[in-house]
Amino acid sequence: MPVPSQSAPSKAVKRHLVRPGEHYVTREPMILTTLLGSCVSVCLFDPVARLMGMNHFLLPMRNPVGRESVLASDAGRYGLWAMELLINDLLKLGAARDRLRAKAFGGGNVLQGWTDKPLDRLAIGTANVQFVRRFLDNDGIPLIAHDLGGINGRQIHFYGGDFSVYLRRIPRTNAERILTEERRYLQEAMVAKQRSVPTDFF
pLDDT in tens, 4-44: 445 556 568 899 999 888 899 999 999 999 999 888 999 99
The pLDDT of residue 166? 96
State the pairing for strand pair 31-36/15-17: parallel
Size of the chain, expressed as the number of residues it contains: 202
**Residue 187 pLDDT level (bands cut at 50, 70, 90):** low
CATH of 15-195, one of 3.30.1330.200, 3.40.50.720, 3.40.309.10, 3.30.360.10: 3.30.1330.200
**Residue 163 pLDDT level (bands cut at 50, 70, 90):** very high
Average the pLDDT over 76-88 and give the result: 85
In this structure, the dihedral spanned by the alpha carbons of residues 153, 174, 158 and 128, taken in order and rounded to 10 degrees, is 20
CB atoms within 10 A of CB 188: 15
Whether 39 sits among the annotated catalytic residues: the reply is yes
Options 18, 31, 35, 39, the catalytic residue:
39
Average the pLDDT over 143-154 and give the result: 93
